[in-house]
Structures are given as C-alpha cells and as structure tokens.
A and B are shown apart, each in its own frame.
Chain A
Amino acid sequence: MDNTPLGRAYLETLSTTDLVKLADDYGIDIPEGLNRRFIIGELLEVTEDQGSDRGETGSLVEAEYVAAPDVLPETYNENQITVLLRDPGWVFVCWDFQTNLINALTGNHHFESFFLRVNFLSDTKPAVVSDFFDVDVGIGDRKWYVHLSGHASFCRVDLYCRYQQEKEELIVRSVEIPLPAATLCDPAAQPKRRCPPLVELSGIAELKKDHFRNHRQSFD
C-alpha cells in the first residue's frame, strides 16, 4: 500500500474495481455486488481506526490536492437514531443504518417492516417506561415527525425491525429527551385556578389563545 491519502474525495475518484482491490489490501471482506458508496464507507472507517492506532501526534503530510466531496453523503453507514423536540406536541426523529445490517435485515425472508417505538418515561431513577406506541416506517424512510400523545417527563424512540412470526428486533435506541410539562401540550390539563393579577396583566390569556391557535393540531 502506498501513502495515497484515503479521503472520501480521493476514494470517489477510484473505479469500483480499484475500490474492491484497495479494500482487499486492507483486509476488508467485501460481499459481491456491494454498492461502491458502502465500500468507501468501510475503507474510511478502517483507515480512520488505523489512524487512531498510529497515535495522534504524527504531523500532517502535504497533499497536492484536496477535492471536497461534491455531494453530501446519503448515509454515514452507522446505526443511529436522533430525537429532537420541535415543540411540546411534536418530535422529529431521524435515523441511519449500517448498510450491511439493513441489507441483511431486509433480505431476511421473514422481514416485515421497520417501526419506531415511541416510549414515554417517568421522572424516576431508573426511568420507567410508562407508555409507548409504535409507528410503522418504510424501508427508505429516514425521518419522521411523531406526535406526542402521552404526558411524561421523558421521551425515547427506538427503531425496531418486525418479522413475521418472530420476535421484533431492536436496532438502535435514542437518548432520552426531556419533555415540557403536560400543561404546555394540552390546555385541558391546566389547573382551573385563577391567575395571580400580575400574571393576568402579563397577558397570559392572550398568550394562551395564541398558543392554542398555533398549536391546536397538537391538541386533537
């Protein structure tokens, strides 16, 4: 192996045959017919690991060129799921798969679908799942907006694979994100008590009306 810089940009310039050969040089086993994008991902991962093993104090070597990738990658080839709170009624969920894994899962004869399990957790330690629901997602889906119908302190979303006549399989689990108080999501949950005069003078009634107007879809 020579010292050619193994950046994504460089690897993108190689033919698929050269990529397979290079992967072979690095001892990576490439299944037949694997998409070149994933071969590049595997190569980058391995060379990155080797870089870590080498120790980090080595100097950078001058390269004649650096070609930035023309397009951002469609995948980072990892099993990962993220949950972001958009507003008290909705979270945004996005996920990614390791290519080998998704190929293996969807290639399984018993494969049925992927689904997101939206868990609501209590404020206790350890947190306990107090409620959950499932949302089916397509093989090509990588993001979803989930309506928070439950009231809890935390939310966690798990990505599962469902099989026919087999137990569902957990693929990846998000971190737990704190949720706003229930009163924010549902005015009906608010205690029916008179506001202190200065809270009324602050315009709480109008703010609540605005909130309902803007987010009423969350209250259905």
Chain B
Amino acid sequence: MADTSLIFVLDASLPYIRHPETPGSVEETRLFNAISYTYLPLLRSCTALETEGVPFKLAIAFSPTLCEMLADPLLQSRYVESLDRSIDYGIAELDRLGNDERTRELVKLHLEQLQLNQRDFIEIYDRNILGKFDYFANRGYLEILATTATSCFLPLYTDIPEAINAQIETGLLTYRKHFTAIPSGFWLPAMAWANGMEQILKSYGFQYTVLESHGVLFSDTVPDTGVFEPCACANGFTVFARDALACREVASRDAGYSANDAYLNVDRDIGFELAEDKLSGIFDVSLGRRITGFRYWSRGNSGSDGFYEPAKAHLQAIADAGCFLSARVEKLDKASKALEGAPVSTVCAFPAALFGQDWYEGVTWLESVFRKAAADGTVTFDLPSARVPQRPAQVKAVNPCYSSWTDSGYAEEVLNSANDWMYPYIRKAVKRMIDLAERFPDDSGLKERSLNMAARELLLAQSMEWFLMMNEASSVEYARMRFEESIRAFTVVYESLGSNFISTEWLTNAEKKHSLFPEINYRVFRKRQ
C-alpha cells in the first residue's frame, strides 16, 4: 500500500478576554462557547477513539492567551456558573414548552450536553482541560505546536525583529507552563508568512510550520511535489503547505460540507430571538445578547419546515466524512503514483472553532473521518513532525512568498481603512518597549514589575483579533476599547519610567485585571547583540 497520510492541524486561538469587574459580560462567553462546543466534545471524541483503539492523530496550536484563560480560576468558576445557569434554564424551558414535543426533544438534547460538559469539566478534568490535551500529546495522539504569545500578524513587524522575538519567546514560556513536550512545530497566527521567518523560527529550534497553499505554490521556487510533500527553505526549515482546496471542501461557508442544510443553524439561537423577560434566567440581556446553545433550526429549509433533526444531521456528518476521505484518498493515490510510490501527505488546517462552534456537528465529522479511515484502511494519519524531512538538504529548497490564510490571502483584513489607524500606535509602543528594555536591562522590584506590565499590555495590543473586530460593526467599540486600553496602560508605564514616579495601586490593579503571562520577562524585547 502506498505511504499516504492525512495531517490535521487545528488553530485553537482566542483573544484574551477577562473582565473581573463585569461578571456576565458577553465577550467572556466566547471562551465558554469554545469549551462547551469545541474542546470538551473534542476531548470526548479523543477519549472514545483511544478507548476503542481507533488510530487518530491531530496537531493543535493552543494560543497562549487561550491557555491562560483556560487555566484561570476566575474564568473557570464563571464557566461553571454559566453551565449551572444554562442547565437550570433548560429544565425550566422544558416546562415552558409544555406539549411542544419536537422542541422539547431538542432542549433535552442540549441539556444532556450541558450536563455532560459539567461532569467532564468538573469531575473528570478537575477544570483543567489542557491537562487532558497534554495527556493525549504524551501518548502520541496529539502534537501541540507552539505559537506567538498573542495572535500577532507577524509579517507586519518584520522590520522590527525584536517584536517577533518577544512574541515567540513569551509564547514559548507559556507553552512550557501548560504542556510537557518540547514543541518542534510553530504555528504562525493566520499562517502569515513573510521572507525571513524561517531564520527566526529555526533560531528557536523549531523544525516546521504550516503555510497557506499559495505561500508555496506561488513562490518563485515551486516544488514539483506541490502540496503533497513538505518542503524545506534554504536553511533547512520545513514548511508544510496546507491543501487549501481540501479545506475549502469542508469549511466553505457556501459550498463546504459544513454548509449542508441538515446541520444545525448555529446562528439562530434563542439568545438572539426570545424576548428579554424570557431570557433573564440565563443571562442579563442588558449586557448583550449571546449564544445560549438552545437552537432548534437547521441551516436549510429542506427538511420538515427547517426544524433541526439531530439524527439526520449525525448521518450527514458520517456521510460527509466518507466523501471527504474518498476525495483525499483519490488525490493522494494520484500523487503517489506520480511520484512512483514515494510517501505523500495532505495537510488540512482549520480554525478549531470550526468544529463545534461554527459547525455544530464538526467534531462528529472529524471523529467519523478517523473511524472511517480505520475501517477502510485506505489512508493513515500523521503528526507533522513525523513527516519533517530527515535530510532537508536533499529536498529542493523553496522560498515561500508573502501569504496568509485570511480570505484575501494576505493582510487586507488586518490592514485596511477600518483598522489602519492602530498601526502608528502599536509600532510606536513596540519601539518604545525596545528602548525601555535597552535602558533598563537589569532592573528589579517595582521597575521590573512595571516593565513587565508594559510588555504584557503591548503583546495584548498586538492581538490580531482587535484588528479583525474593527471590520465588524458589532464589535468595533469593544475592539477599540481593548486596543486603546492596552496602549494607554503601556503609555502610563512608559511615562512613569521617564518621570520615575508610579502608582503601585494602579500597577497592582492593572496586573490583576490582565493576569496573564505572570512569568513574562520584558527583556525579551531587547536587541540581539
């Protein structure tokens, strides 16, 4: 049998959102939804596959901001509280619905999932779901990639390498806190690549990253093997090209498997539809409407008047997994034949949020892919590190070109008339931070705390999510608030260090508010000698 394999890579990323002063803020629910619909179901799938001896392999890049939120006791407690409220609400909803059996069945289904999440999160994982992912990594099922401290679009900082180094080093520091492996792969936020990244990444000991197809296929040194084999840069650093078309087959909003009419319409949630008084038991509407998870409609209207049918959706997910696998096997076989039986692979990288959040049945689909492949024996799964060329010097060198996995393929989403006003501030702050790190190389005590605070706020301000949210009318205000808050906090420290005065009360409050990266070292911004 030809040596053909599929490589799945998930980008598990969320911006750092934590509002200790505002319990129930709508923004914090992004984390809770990610836990409820993606990470807990994913862990249940992995557990089931492991228990049943079904082979599966998956690479995941957990953003340090997500790790810090998942490990945060305040957010963990708030998640548990939100589950409690949802369960109570579901029970009350069953009463309210009376004889509406069809809807009651869907409420019961969601209630079951909520109770399962509650049990898993509290009793099985002791609120530490990262520990279970680490367990699967240690067992060889998962590979956890390192990534930047915050989701920074690195190509826009290539002229300030200290900014890139600081992101990578702080990301690594956080990785070591949450995971036991030594990462060999590095996930570039948005898979954004620019010339020279290979030098930086290799200098930190990373062996590979994943790029969007056109980053490799549009380069002036296109590898003859296309996206079917990893390739090496001139310095031996390996790049995998994502198979963009295969991923589109799955995730396209219009024509992907995930868009099938049978699947749950995740946007049509009672949190956006019911009157305020009917929702008061589950959240405070004055803090913003949100996803509750109580959803009764399918994506299309082809079924019985558009009502969601879980069994039908489940079967569809299994069928779609089969179609996806057949298409991959066919292409991989063709590729293998063209290379006279040489090993070939296909890399499918997705945002983790696709599975469970954007596509409710996504986790079922993924699990079905593993099960179907095991049953058919037509293709295997690999971790990227297993496919890194052992002798990169023997592989034709490629020079990948500027690229990202955004819709535009480049930086249009993070650099346009809605968000370009942010760049003068962020770049000035980066330069000031480098200056501070140079001026205060050996400081300790209050000064060190202040400098660490400045570095933390600067990394937060670089989060790509604020730039992306500026494109959406509903999130502009929040994104602007968060970005300006971080720049202002940075500026306070900068000016305080200039004047030698600082308020420890202010500093302590700021540290409590953004309590991520407690081990940060501002010296990561120093220039390399």
A48 to B499, CA, bound (A): 7
Closest residue of chain A to B416 (Cβ to Cβ) is: A86
Question: B495 on the interface (CB 8 Å rule)?
Answer: yes
Give the number of chain B interface residues (Cβ < 8 Å).
Answer: 71
Tell me whether A63 is interfacial, beta carbon within 8 Å. Answer: yes
What are the residues of chain A within 8 A of B244 when measuring CB–CB?
Answer: 203, 207
A61 pairs with B500, CB closer than 8 A: yes
Q: Chain B nearest CB: distance from A25 CB in Å?
A: 15
Instruction: Say yes or no: B213 contacts A86, CB within 8 Å.
Output: no
A60 contacts B446, C-beta separation under 8 Å: yes
Residue of B412, B424, B439, B484 with most partner-chain A CB within 10 A: B424
Contact between A183 and B220, CB atoms less than 8 A apart: yes
Chain B, residues 499-527, CB within 8 Å of chain A (1/0): the string is 11111101000000000000000000000
- Max chain A Cβ within 10 angstroms of own Cβ: one of B338, B443, B501: B501
What is the bound-complex CA distance between A199 and B219, given in angstroms? 12
B415 touches A44 (CB 8 A): no
Q: Given the complex of chains A and B, what is the CA–CA distance between A207 and B227 in angstroms?
A: 12
User: Do A52 and B499 form a contact, CB below 8 Å, given A92-B423, A197-B338, A202-B213?
Assistant: no
B488 within 8 A of A: yes
Contacts of B245 in A (CB 8 A): 202-203, 206-207
Most buried by A among B194, B331, B402, B498: B498
Kindly state the separation between the CA atoms of A201 and B336 in the bound complex, as whole angstroms.
11
B415 touches A86 (CB 8 A): yes
Kindly list chain A residues whose C-beta atoms are within 8 Å of the C-beta of B446.
59-60
Q: Which of B243, B410, B450 contacts A86 (CB 8 A)?
A: B410
| Count of chain A residues near B, Cβ 8 A | 61
With A51-B498, A64-B503: A56-B401 Cβ-Cβ less than 8 Å: no
Q: Are A94 and B423 in contact (CB under 8 A)?
A: yes
Please tell me which stretch of A31-39, A97-105, A114-122, A173-181 contacts chain B, meaning at least 4 of its Cβ atoms lie within 8 angstroms of it.
A173-181
Are the CB atoms of B425 and A207 closer together than 8 Å?
no
Q: Which residues from chain A contact B228 at a C-beta distance below 8 Å?
A: 198, 201-202
Contact B423 A58 (CB under 8 A): no
Q: How far is the CA of A85 from the CA of B446 in the complex (A)?
A: 39
Taking a contact as CB atoms under 8 Å apart, the answer to whether A63 and B503 are in contact is: yes
| Chain A residue nearest to B413 in the complex (CB) | A86
B498 lies within 8 A of A47 (CB): yes
- Chain A residues near B502 (CB-CB < 8 A): 60-63, 66
Q: Taking CB as reference atom, which chain B residue is nearest A84?
A: B156
Q: How many angstroms from the CA of A60 to the CA of B504 in the assembled complex?
A: 10
Alpha-carbon gap, A87 to B401, bound state (A): 11
Q: Mark B215-237, 1 if CB is under 8 A from A, else 0.
A: 00111101111111000000000
B427 within 8 A of A: yes
Return the chain A residue nearest B213 by Cβ: A207
Q: Among residues 1 to 55 in chain A, which have CB atoms less than 8 Å away from a CB atom of chain B?
A: 3, 5-10, 44, 47-48, 51-52
Flag if A87 contacts B497 (CB, 8 Å): no
A60 to B423, CA, bound (A): 30
Contact assessment for B217 and A204 in the assembled complex, using a CB-CB cutoff below 8 Å: yes
Q: Is the CB of B213 within 8 A of A7?
A: no
Cβ 8 A contact of B214, one of A85, A197, A211:
A211
Question: Taking CB as reference atom, which chain B residue is nearest A175?
Answer: B159
Q: Which A residues are CB-close (under 8 A) to B450?
A: 60
Determine whether A162 belongs to the interface, using a CB cutoff of 8 Å to chain B.
no
- Bound together, the chains give a CA A200 to CA B224 distance in angstroms of 10
What separation, in Å, do the CA atoms of A72 and B338 have in the docked complex? 58
Within 8 A of A (CB), among B429-458: 439-440, 442-443, 445-447, 450
- CB pair B499 A6 closer than 8 Å: yes
CB-CB under 8 A from B428, the residues of chain A are: 76
**Hey, which chain A residues are within 8 Å of B427, CB to CB?**
82
Contact of A108 with B by CB under 8 A: no
**B270 contacts A by Cβ under 8 Å:** no
Which of chain B's residues has its CB closest to A70's CB? Answer: B488
Q: Is B119 in contact with chain A by the CB < 8 A criterion?
A: no
* Complex contact B447–A60 (CB within 8 A): yes
| B393 lies within 8 A of chain A by Cβ | no
Chain A residue nearest to B493 (CB atoms) is A66
The A-contacting residues of B in range 6-52, CB under 8 angstroms, are none
Given contacts A87-B408, A87-B409, A87-B410, contact A60 B226 (CB under 8 A): no
A184 at the interface (CB under 8 A from B): yes
**Beta-carbon nearest neighbor of B338 in chain A:** A197
A45 vs B309: C-alpha distance in the bound complex, in angstroms?
66
Docked complex: B151-192 residues within 8 A CB-CB of A: 155-156, 158-159
B199 within 8 A of A: no
The reply to whether A85 and B408 contact each other, CB–CB distance below 8 Å, is no
Closest Cβ of chain A to B423, distance in Å, is 6
**Beta-carbon contacts under 8 Å, A148-193 to B:** 175, 177-178, 180-181, 183-184
Q: Please, how many angstroms separate the alpha-carbon atoms of A136 and B442 in the complex?
A: 47
**Given known A82-B424, A84-B156, contact A207–B439 (CB-CB < 8 A):** no
In the complex, besides A8-B491, A68-B488, A85-B411, 9 extra interface pairs with C-beta distance below 8 angstroms are: A51-B500, A59-B446, A59-B500, A82-B427, A84-B415, A183-B218, A196-B222, A201-B228, A210-B409
Residues of B within 8 A of A (CB): 155-156, 158-159, 194-196, 213-214, 217-220, 222-228, 241, 243-245, 331, 334-335, 338-339, 401-402, 407-412, 415-416, 420-421, 423-425, 427-428, 439-440, 442-443, 445-447, 450, 484, 487-489, 491-492, 495-504, 506
The 8 closest A-B pairs by CB, nearest first: A5-B501, A202-B226, A87-B410, A7-B495, A63-B501, A198-B226, A5-B499, A203-B245
Cβ contacts A to B, 13 pairs, < 8 Å = A7-B492, A62-B501, A87-B408, A87-B410, A94-B423, A183-B218, A198-B226, A198-B335, A200-B226, A202-B241, A206-B245, A207-B218, A214-B408
